[in-house]
Structure 1
Amino acid sequence: MAEAKTNCLFLLTTFLLYTLSSASGSLDSDLTALLDFRAASDQLGALWTWNRSDPSPCSTWLGVTCSGGRVTRLVLEDLNLNGTGALSALSRLDGLRVISLKSNLLSGSLPDLSSLSGLKLLFLSYNNLSGPIPPTISSLHRLYRLDLSHNNLSGSVPGSLNQLTRLLTLRLDSNRLTGSISGLSLPRLQDLNLSSNFLTGSIPPSLATFSVSSFSSNPTLCGAPLLPCRDVVSDPSRPGTPNITSNAAAPVPPAAAVVTSTASSKPEAAPPQHNERMSRAAVLAIVAGDFAVLVFVSCLLFCYFWRKFAWRKSTSRLREGEKIVYSSSPYGTAGMVVAGGGFERGKMVFLDTGAQGVKRFELEDLLRASAEMLGKGGYGTAYKAVLDDGSVVAVKRLRDVHVAGKKEFEHHMEMLGRLRHQHLVPLTAFYYARDEKLLVYDFMPNGSLFSLLHGNRGPGRTPLDWSMRIRIAAGAAHGLAHIHHANRSSPRLAHGNVKTTNILLDKNCEPRLADYGLALLGPSVGVATRSAGYRPPEAPPADSRRPWATQKGDVYSFGVVLLEILTGKAASDCGAIDLPRWVQSVVREEWTAEVFDLELMRYKGIEEEMVALLQLAISCTAVPPDQRPKMSQVVKMIDEIRVSSGGEASPSHDSFDSISDSPSVLSEDTSAGTVGVSSQ
């Protein structure tokens, strides 16, 4: 028995020593592979810092990054590296997560990289690589950026690429690829470029949503967004060159041309001059008759509508002195008939803004103003109104809101009017009539956070950078905290409708919360349907007809706003599940950079701030309300994140070329319950 224990102990010790030796030797094997790559590609000495005797190669070797005792990133761009077959040495670096060798002179065929099972980013554009795309590339299941553009690759686009289910970017443009792509299906793809090749056949419907530039300069490629396939026919005398046919521009058949020519040569086919003069006279008579009928009908209509107009004008004189809004105004009818006859006189009430020089105006001034609809929200329609003196205000016409009475409405508006903060849109005036309620706010000229995050996501868009996003988040948090703590008495005041469309930017691009406090006026089904992605789990059903707004609910909604800022996804973009549940499902599975907005990936050194804000957003969207922080705590944590960033983050010159080309990868330690930075 003792001998058996000794043997077991010996075997265990041997196994541990072998494991430790292999682990300690893994970095050595990586360095050996890198030196082999240098010997095959670096003829000009660009990699002179790669010295085997260096005690800390992970920090001094150009373009090399290590993690966990392995080489995980290799970024060597625009270094004139050349050589045939140099890439094969990299297939031994099985710990690599990122490879970027853009803008070099590497040649030869693509090697088998299936051993790099953890590879996530592969950028080999602007080289001289040739040969086919190896089908083994489909074994890189964690790959989500693939850029092989501007090479001399030939052959077909392998259908095995469909196995790359995480792929977000596929760039194969400016090569010599041939064949069909009809079987290509990558549902998560966000960035595609197959232009300047020799691809043929139809574009699959799954790729039809991409722009024309993604498929241009492929002569015989057809289907949306290019020409329909029936209009593209290859010319057998000129391979690769299409013939474009169109029914509208079809040439006249030769037979028809002969008939026309024959007919024109017979003099008896021409009509006599007398008949021609008769035809002209008939046409003139018909035109004159039609004109007379038109004048007669116009006179009848004019008389009819003039009588109605004169009647309305005489009726309006009876109502002179009453403030009546005619239906031509976008704000509806403010003077309404009440039961038993007569009219209820509305009143424009200005609130004390605490500022000097506030311009006051009458309701008639507002009704004469030129109005432009800004959008429809849960509680009504908002308009931009330009008054006669040139001043601009925003007017919200409340709809589908049931208020108990006039006194309650006026009391609530006065309470909202006293909420003054640099991050709140000030309520300056209101109008109340029985069936018409108008709210007047300062106009915010720079749109909403929603439009900045989600508007025009395509060519020519100016991305919203990280410093601006965290600044907006901080400002909105301060404004919401002020609402929560402005009224110390019970019940505590809540916003009730926090979302990105209600975070507006003033003329100085400072964020301001809008529509605060309206949820307490009464139920509105429109709010429930339009704000479904922001509603906390404890909120009543959408068809509930009772007012509902709580501070804990505001915290949940604000957490969804933070997730929108971080992910670039709208609250309703995640299909059957809401945005918080989607983020948590990705966190539980495996944390990757694809959770964050691609437009943030070109900024370097902000990973810790993004992760910290993500932790805060997840805590704000906790299902149990008592597990959510207070807004005062949220403000403190966001301010700490801003201070830790040391100022505005700027785009890194080492970034991967575009918004979708960042080597930054994040991971989460779900067992510890905290998000951390990792190369995994």
Structure 2
Amino acid sequence: MHKFSLSLTLLSLIAAVSTAPEPGSLIQLPADAVSLLSFKSKADLNNKLLFTLNERFDYCEWQGVKCLQNRVTRFVLDSYSLRGEFPPNSLSKLDQLRVLSLRNNSLSGPIPDLSGLFNLKSLFLNGNFFSGSFPPSILSLHRIRAVDFSLNNLTGPILAELTSLDRLSCIRLDRNFLNGSIPAFNQSSLVVFNVSSNNFSGSVPVTPVLSKFDLSCFSYNPNLCGEIIHKECKRTPFFENTPKNASSPSPVSQNEDSGNGVVVPSPPSMKRHQKTGIIVGFSIGFFALFASMLLFLATIRKQRRNCHPKAGKLTTENENVTEAAMPAVVEEEEKVGVRSSELDVKKRGQSGNLIFCGGEASVYTLDQLMKASAELLGRGSIGTTYKAVLHNKLIVSVKRLDSCKTKISSGDVFERHMECLSGLRHPNLVPVRAYFQVREERLIIYDYQPNGSLYNLIHGSKSTRAKPLHWTSCLKIAEDVAQGLAYIHQASKLIHGSLKSSNVLLGSDFEACLTDYCLSVLADSSQSNDPEPAGYKAPETRKSHHHATPKSDVYSLGILLLELLTGKPPSQHPYLVPNALPDWVRSVRDDDGGEDNRLGMLIEVASVCSLISPEQRPTMWQVLRMIQQIKESVDLEDHVVDAGSLYS
């Protein structure tokens, strides 16, 4: 009845607005009220806002609304669980609005034209799912002081004209997908600035204002460089700086009469002869250079044939012993002390090069890598992983792809794919540092993660029964994993494709880092005989002809969350309808006591991620926001408890 009466109220209000009032009829609805109702109609699909109008200026008492002289000056709806879009021609008509804050909701779509808010001073839209480009209408808000679009899905460049807004004191654009260069902000009023976790590139402008901000304000933009962030920019060769349309100046002859010092143009005939001579000389030089290059390439190929034997199989002393005894990754990781004398590539023909990714410094050679002391870490679905200790004590992780388990049609395919992966840089991804290939021999070099895998953390050793992790630890790991997956989906348009607990490693600060990401496209699914990863696979991908999608990664994350919360691998998860999952998880756990509500929210995230239908699953960014909202509720409650203790 409440929804029915609310619908009737809205219909009557719309009718009152759309028709001109007759003498003696109801007073026409104020324009500010119309704007607020228009916003609610598209942005409040969950009906969280109870806007009712019995008197002319009741809207000044609505949730989040503050008025001055019956005009809306503040509209603040933070963390109201709003879902929908920010409709155009709604709030943008509140021309007396000073503060607009819609942070920490689930609003999506583009940010509309806000040029009508010419009195706006503070704009907070952070923590939503807004997409599209940076809104150009911000440039018309000459009184604007604070702009916060962080934690959204915005793409494209920042508008350079923002530097002309001389009242700007706060601009936060972190955790989006913005790219291009950073404008030369130099407003003396700017005291808050953050563009971290985007895809910006080029040199950070050296201005007095930008120079005062900490390095963290620019972090996780792998292609940024410059003096401010202490990263040298790549130098462009001189010949690349020469303009394409540059031409030689017209030849002139100078009269050397010291009395006049006049420069006299050459006669037309002399110009023609000089021009002809330049063309002929250039042609001869070009053909000579071309011939020299051909000769040089022929010499290099001959030297390679004469000097470099063929690359062969990576072997270890004990591999023939351990292969039969270690059918699963976890069993191999539990074998301590399985060492090889070296990672020996028996060269049997033309050799390749060790290629470092993304401008990484060549801190070791292929020969040094092959002679490194090595330890077998595990065998995965497409290859074997080793821990390699180099001569300079540098430790790396080397993954050797199994040619029998991959379907790489050519070396070019592998090289292009590795170039894509090398550009992925995020704190929750184990970075690819280098790779090597020759014929069917392929190696991928990662940073070594010292604290093992999430599989070992969850399940412990076989001699002890592992206890489920505390739910707060599960929450922290879930956020790390979701951060990494969301970055992959948005930054590269790729997918992980092989998410499981053994492919989540723990870094030096025990942060969860994804490895083996985006390699599933190289795998030959017909050769897979490992039953454990099948439990992580989404139902729609279990047939060989169906390709994985971002929603497949979401399903795998749901299964991983259940593994985190229960301490049981996917093979031991019962088939349950979503409503039965909370009872099963709680029956396995016995240590969370009064935290039942927030544990329940985390179980709900796992449940919605692991729905059978991919259309019903959320996107990875939506999953991340769910997890972050649980975390924010924990932080808020802890803050209230701490504040209360001051007065106890």
The verdict on a shared fold, with TM-score over 0.5 as the criterion, is no
Q: Shorter-chain TM-score category?
A: 0.3 to 0.5
**Bigger Rg, which one:** 1
- Structure 2-normalised TM-score? 0.44
* TM-score, L = length of structure 1: 0.42
